[in-house]
Chain A
Amino acid sequence: MRVVIAEDLLLLREGLKRLLTELGCTVVAAVDNPEALLEALERERPDLAIVDIRLPPTYRDEGLRAAIEARRRRPGTPILILSQYIEQAYVRELLADAAGGVGYLLKDRVGDVSELLTALRTVAAGGTVLDPEVTSGLLNRLGRTAALAGLTPREREVLGLMARGRSNSAIAADLVVTERAINKYINRIFSKLSLAPADSDHRRVIAVLRYLDAGGRSEPS
């Protein structure tokens, strides 16, 4: 897998480079600012870009803006955002273009190498990966409302994993059940929440997040 890294801190840039190399990836460019990132994406056309939200010049959300710009120029450019903090507003902006191949994880997650590897592969393959923290907040918020009251704990667990962009087989592996059982869960959840079935994992993520975001009211589709 050919990877571009955009990270302003040398320590983390070099660390990521080493980690990814050990995991069998080829780091084709490691840059420290948004312009260089856009240029590297144009030049290298990598399988994946790992981008820090905070990049120069102002160290605010330049990384996120560069990622959105890159995906505007070439829709579906696979980008995994790494950050020290999760903001729902950033999740919405990142998912707004409705093309797959995006991820948003806390930097903490790089400690779990196999999990990271799964995330890298999912995003590179056009899937969606969201940090557990993104969905746990939303699910908690709806915890007391009637919207989710009809779901069993297991179904809520499946809903959370769906919202994080897990595929059916990944959810099955996580919960140690068969994929057929997961399919059944998902159908039940969709009918209970009156959500229209989605044709891809990414669309499913957007549908579920939108549902959660709207406070448990399904959008007219």
Chain B
Amino acid sequence: MFANALTGVRALLLVLRWPVLVARHQALRPRFDALVARQRRLDTIALGPAERGSQPAIRPVPWLLCQAVLGPGVLALSSVMWAFALVTVSTPLWWRLVSENPLPGVVVMVGSTNNAFVVTLLGFVVTLIAAACSHGLPRWHAGVNLLLAGGLRRSRLTRRIAVLTESRAGALEVQAAELRRIERDLHDGVQARLVSLSMVLGLLDFKLHEVPADTRQLVAHARDQVGEALRELRDLVRGVYPPILADRGLTGGIESLAEHAGSGLRGIAVTVDVADRLAVALESAVYFVVAEALTNVVKHSDADQAEVTVRSDGHRVRINVMDDGRGGADEQAGTGLAGLRRRVAAFDGELSLSSPVGGPTVLHVEMPCA
């Protein structure tokens, strides 16, 4: 507390000498920094070791003024409390002395010896308060300094990051659930209606035996259009939320991807080792990462073989896509990899690509499960 007060005095002196020092072109910063470092040591003693991290810049004037007021202020307040405590506790000692020889200017309102002992009891309470002050106030002072040093901002940021992390995970889950809902709506709505329309047209065609050929051709044309619409819709749905993912989880989903991509390759080896179902959002992120990676392999690598591995240990999910193609994949060249990186980043994941000219190309993605 005395040390704090000393800091305060030195802070006050520094503020007062500020114009003088500036006028003499003397460096202020080292003196200020020394003072801050000294006070920080004191605060550490009061509060325990502070959290490690970059120390934010402190604004000098508010800090110095605060030390100047708080350091001596806290000392003064504690001293007054202790003095008051001492006086009240020791009342019986000086009561007799003062009542017999009243000192000029001292008003004594104790009244009797018994009362003096009552005051002593009160004095013990005051002592407790004084002790609480000298224990608590320096800590409070150190706390204020921490806030001044950006601790407040830091703790607010820490809380904010926690909130944002949670809300982002929530948003991703909501988005995944939305996509699934859209897939369901398409399946039960538009797709079903188109199938129904196709059925009606088929029946119409079946019944139109006697009509001229060009009329039947019109019906056939209409049916083809419906068929085309259904095909496009099916591709769209696969891009929104692949039904196989809901049905069979990642294992089924990735195998299905390999089967679809397989047309461009000689062989794809797939290993999926994921014990539990992952969160819906993460599951579909993994699916689309592999989908995009395989599309790249088929489109650009000129590879014969590819290998897809997806593993999860419950904490992190690791995706590895390797091909024996010509390598030299350039992240800047297309939008595919940048899109992948964004998708992975949304889950706090990391993506690395190794693709020397001549191959092999290895894409590695790691995403946390929680």
Taking beta carbons and an 8 Å cutoff, which residues of A are in contact with B?
Answer: 9, 11-12, 15-16, 18-19, 22-23, 54, 59-61, 84-85, 87-89, 106-108, 110-114, 116, 137, 140-141, 143-145, 215
Contacts and interface: CB of A to CB of B under 8 A. Distances in A.
Contacts of B198: 108, 110-111
A16 B262 CA distance: 35
A19 B266 contact: no
Contacts of A11: 192-193, 196
B244 A89 contact: yes
Contacts, number: 95
Nearest to A143: B263
A54 B187 contact: yes
Contact of B195 (A59, A107, A145): A107
Chain B contact-residue range equals 35 or more
Chain B residues touching A, majority SS: helix
Contact of B227 (A108, A140, A143): A108
A106 B265 CA distance: 25
For the complex of A and B, the 9 pairs showing the least CB-CB separation, nearest first, are A111-B198, A140-B263, A141-B262, A111-B202, A113-B206, A113-B202, A60-B247, A141-B263, A107-B195
Contact of A88 (B199, B243, B256, B265): B256
Contacts of A215: 266-267
A55 to B, nearest CB: 12
A8 B234 CA distance: 19
Contact of A19 (B202, B234, B246): B202
B256 A137 contact: no
A19 B184 CA distance: 25
B184 A15 contact: no
Contacts of A141: 259, 262-263, 265
B318 interface: no
B346 interface: no
A119 B240 CA distance: 31
Nearest to B242: A85
B141 interface: no
Given A22-B206, A137-B263, A112 B199 contact: no
A113 B256 CA distance: 30
A110 B202 CA distance: 7
B256 A87 contact: yes
Given A11-B196, A137-B259, A143-B263, A111 B191 contact: no
Contacts of B223: 111-112
A51 B44 CA distance: 73
B46 interface: no
Contacts of B199: 12, 15-16, 19, 110-111
